[in-house]
Amino acid sequence: MSVIDESGREFKVDLTNCDREPIHIPGHVQGHGALLAVHPDYFTILQASQNVATYFGTPAETLLGKELSILLDPTQMGALRDARQSQPLAQNPVYVFQGEIGGQGPFDVSAHTYQGILIIEAEAVDQIDPAAPDFQALVTESLVRLQSTKTLEDFCQAAAVEFRKISGFDRVMIYRFLQDASGTVVAEDLAPGIESFLGLHYPASDIPKQARALFVQNASRIIPDPSYEPSPIVPTLNPLTDRPLDMSYASLRGVSPMHTQYLRNMGVCASMSQAIVVDGQLWGLIASHHYENRRVPYGLRRGCEFLAKLVALMVRGKVDEEQSSYRQQIEETHDALVESMSRHRSIVEGLTGGERRIEHFVDCTGCAILADGECHLIGQTPTPTQVRVLAEWLRRERGDELYVTDSLSREYPEGERMKDVASGVLSIRLTKVPGEFVLWFRPEVVKTVNWAGNPTKPVEPTPSGDRLNPRKSFELWQEEVRDRSNPWKRLEIESARRLRIAITEMVIRRAEEVSRANVRLERSNVELDSFAYIASHDLKEPLRGIHNYSTFLLEDYGEALDETGRERLRTLVRLAERMETLTDSLLHFSRLGRQELDLQKHDLNDVLQEAIEATSARLEETGTEVRIPWPLPTVTCDGVQLVEVFQNLIANAAKYNDKPHKWIEVGVRSEGALPGEQPHVLYVRDNGIGIPRKHFESIFRIFKRLHGRTEFGGGTGAGLTITEKVVQRHGGRLWLESEPGQGTTFFFTLGA
């Protein structure tokens, strides 16, 4: 069997090329009626199926070029003209009349226009049904029963029952297409003794791509007898269009030999299919089989088509209904996550801190958040390392913001080892650099698929071996499907996409806020430092004047004053001196914040010796012994500033001590740390007066003193503040332990 394609070339169809077969221009009609292609305005017969000779008693060759009135009587012509004027016939076959043509028949005659040609189809009527059933009443009853179903499953089952009741076919199946265009029989109603196909799976090649596309255009397909004698259209090319006649909307359209062979192999003697189109997509078919040849009278066919359209609308409603509670759950989780994100500082906290968390967003068994340098895992997931490596692969190899698979191992070799937790992955990318992701996981679900025949061998060679035929065996063929999770729904994927946008917008907004705050903070720090520096620097001059002039006054006019007056002046000098010391400390402190650290490797033993020498006067005066039980390490630090740290701590230790035998111990503590790995904890311990716990924090405040001016040799109270500042600038920490009356230990680290 061959057909002529659009370019006029012969197309020899077999199963290797049937997805390219031009099935809309088969070049012939089925045997149960005759077709005429007519000029839409002048009703000149342009093409005819050759069986007009049998049906109308006139050979096609005689009819060509004649007016249609050669066949139709004036009443019939009138009906046709009326239909032509009163109804839109374009791509819409309309019933015109029932009657005899050329003294034969009767025929059911319908007409439609397509691509500028009026196509008239006359289907032979077997017998005039004396009591045609009232299809409208039947459909209305069916509708009531369909509406009472709850789930989509129940609905499909009810639809199969109602459809069979009206159509009278032996088997009515609701066939649902899956994402890969293969399909399953999801519901079925059978006449007694008919084999069940329920639950069987058919490969995508059984209904090829262009056949699926044609179903979206023309929802109905009836084959009353798969063994019909094809009746060619003559001439092959239409004289008006110079192309083969496009029969996309013709119900007599000839069937692909592959399909009739397929039906014959299955033992089916008549078939009727109605498409269930939901939102412009082919959702499924109502597929009917009969085991005797069966014509479908025009009225019945229209009833079936009408019911099929209602089923499509109701399927859509059921799908929406089933999704709507899940959709609501997703939307509520979305809102809760966005709200939580706005209250938390980090992405991880935002997505995991609330009542509804990221793992509640879609149905999943595990979830991972890779953000803020963390790998946060929830539920059943791959290991942190596996997740990180997967994210890196996504970042490099899959550039998109969203990635979804129900079979990770097919795309990602390492996926094989984590399929029991992550066969299915839905992932959204929050940032490209450094590559932050949210991933939802689903485990592998091993499924048994019941194929109607071996799907890997849908074809068999013909005995002559010159082409391939559809398979003959539709025996149950079971396949175990591995490496696959339950598939991700479109709703889930689109919702994840929406969540990604919401999260990234918040991340960007937050980053902007933080960087603005940092700039402000930096500026105010710099201003504060320079304020302290300038203030203390410029304060010194008038202060020195007050100091000097009080001295001069005392020297030059002291005689003129009495002792009280002189004492007051001496107090003035003392206060000015004190203020000068405070100003110096402040100046020193603020300078610490402004100076760059001069980081070098320093042997802390040398640093400590320098500090001891600098405080030697006080150590000697107080008779304090300095003990160094172990040598100190060599560290990277600013040597000058570190001398000051030791100096301050040693001076304090010597100063605040009332024991007869005073000692200070300087050492390094390294318990629990491998050498050179952790920052060293250095300490300065004394057997001094100790510090009450409540003062542990306030002692670091500048100019804070715990004792009177003259006790323990006085001081400004800036030493510990400066010490802490130096330690902190080195990235370290300063803290203390103390027992009043027993002594104090100051600890510090110098960061990494």
Partner 1 sequence: MTDKLDRPIVVVEDSDEDFEALSRAFNRLDVRVPVQRFTDADDCLEYLRGEAHAGNIASRPALILLDLNLPGTDGKEALQEIKSDGDLRAIPVTVVTSSTNKADVETCYRYGANGYMTKGGSFQSFQQAVGTMLDFWFKTVVLP
Residues that bind partner 1 (CB under 8 A): 537, 540-541, 544-545, 547-549, 551-552, 573, 577, 580, 584, 587, 591, 595
Q: Please state the closest distance from residue 546 (CB atom) to partner 1, in A.
A: 9
Closer CB to partner 1, residue 53 or residue 546?
A: 546
Note whether 643 and 610 are within 8 A (CB). yes
How far apart, in whole angstroms, are the C-alpha atoms of residue 363 and residue 357? 12
Q: How far is the CB of 550 from partner 1 (least distance, A)?
A: 9
Q: How far is the CB of 399 from partner 1 (least distance, A)?
A: 52
HSE, CB side, 13 Å, CA atoms: give it for residue 63: 30
Of the pair 138, 587, the CB lying nearest partner 1 is at 587
Of 382, 354, 355, the closest CA to residue 368 belongs to: 382
C-alpha 287/C-alpha 291 separation (Å) is: 14
100, containing H or E segment: strand 94-101
We find the least distance from the C-beta atom of residue 682 to partner 1, in angstroms, to be: 24
CB distance 51 to 31 below 8 Å? yes
Q: Shortest gap between Cβ of 549 and partner 1 (angstroms)?
A: 7
Strand ranges, E, within 398-488: 402-405, 424-431, 436-442, 447-452, 459-461, 468-470, 476-481
Distance CA(39)–CA(120), nearest Å, equals 11
**For residue 660, is the peptide bond before it cis, meaning its omega torsion is within 30 degrees of 0?**
no
Closest approach, Cβ 713 to partner 1, in A, equals: 18
Least distance (Å) from partner 1 to the CB of residue 558? 14
Choose between 552 and 703: whose C-beta lies nearer to partner 1: 552
Distance set, CA 602 to CA 616, 669, 681 (Å)? 21, 18, 16
The sheet with strand 476-481 has its strands ordered as 220-223, 270-278, 281-290, 171-177, 183-190, 201-202, 447-452, 476-481
Shortest gap between Cβ of 569 and partner 1 (angstroms)?
Answer: 13
Nearer to partner 1, 290 or 729 (CB): 729
28, β-bridge pairs: 232
User: Which CB sits closer to partner 1, 309 or 591?
Assistant: 591
Q: CB of 592: closest distance to partner 1 in angstroms?
A: 12
Q: Which is nearer to partner 1, 328 or 595 (CB)?
A: 595
452 strand-pairing partners? 476
On the CB side of 309, how many CA atoms lie within 13 Å of its CA? 9
Rounded least distance, CB 637 to partner 1, Å:
17
The candidate with the shortest Cα–Cα distance to 197, out of 265, 266, 255, is 266
Residue 316 or 540 having the CB closest to partner 1: 540
Smaller CB separation from partner 1, 180 or 541: 541
Local structure of 94: helix, strand or coil:
strand
Nearer to partner 1, 450 or 551 (CB): 551
Rounded distance between C-alpha atoms, residue 359 and residue 343, angstroms: 19
CA separation, residue 666 to residues 312, 608, 627, 686 (Å): 87, 9, 6, 9
Give the C-alpha separation, 303 to 308, whole Å.
9
Q: How far is the CB of 539 from partner 1 (least distance, A)?
A: 10
Q: Is 29 helix (H, G, I), strand (E, B) or coil?
A: strand
Cα R_g (the chain), whole angstroms? 47
Beta bridge partners of 273: 221, 287
Q: How far is the CB of 541 from partner 1 (least distance, A)?
A: 6
**CB of residue 535 vs partner 1: minimum separation in angstroms?**
14
Q: State the DSSP H helix or E strand holding residue 379, giving kind and residue range, or none if neither.
A: strand 374-379
Block residue for tokens 């720090």: 525
From 648, 652, 611, 645, select the one nearest 628 (Cα to Cα). Answer: 611
- Residue 654 Cβ vs partner 1, minimum distance, rounded to whole Å: 24
Q: Which alpha helices (DSSP H) does 416-489 contain, by range?
A: 419-422
**Residue 291 DSSP one-character state:** S
CB of 594 to partner 1, least distance (A): 10
Identify whether 487 is preceded by a cis peptide bond (ω within 30 of 0).
Answer: no
Residue (549 or 557) nearer to partner 1, CB: 549
- Compute the distance between CA of residue 398 and CA of residue 111 in angstroms, rounded to an integer: 53
At its nearest, how many Å lie between partner 1 and the CB of residue 582? 13
Q: Which is nearer to partner 1, 47 or 590 (CB)?
A: 590
Which SS3 state, helix, strand or coil, does residue 603 take? strand
Task: Give 316 or 537: the residue with its C-beta nearer to partner 1.
Answer: 537
Instruction: Pick between residue 65 and residue 545 the one whose CB is nearest to partner 1.
Output: 545
Indicate the SS3 state at residue 104.
strand
What is the maximum alpha-carbon separation in the chain?
A: 156
Residue pair 721/589 in contact by the 8 Å Cβ criterion:
yes
113 or 647: whose CB is closer to partner 1? 647
Is the CB of 445 or the CB of 579 nearer to partner 1? 579
Q: Give the shortest CB-617-to-partner 1 separation in angstroms.
A: 17
Q: Is the dihedral of CA 121, 126, 130, 134 positive or negative?
A: negative
Nearer to partner 1 among residue 537 and residue 566 (C-beta): 537
Rank residues 36 and 592 by Cβ distance to partner 1 and give the closer one: 592
Among the listed residues 367, 324, 318, 321, the one whose alpha carbon sits nearest the alpha carbon of residue 499: 367
Of how many residues is the chain composed?
Answer: 752
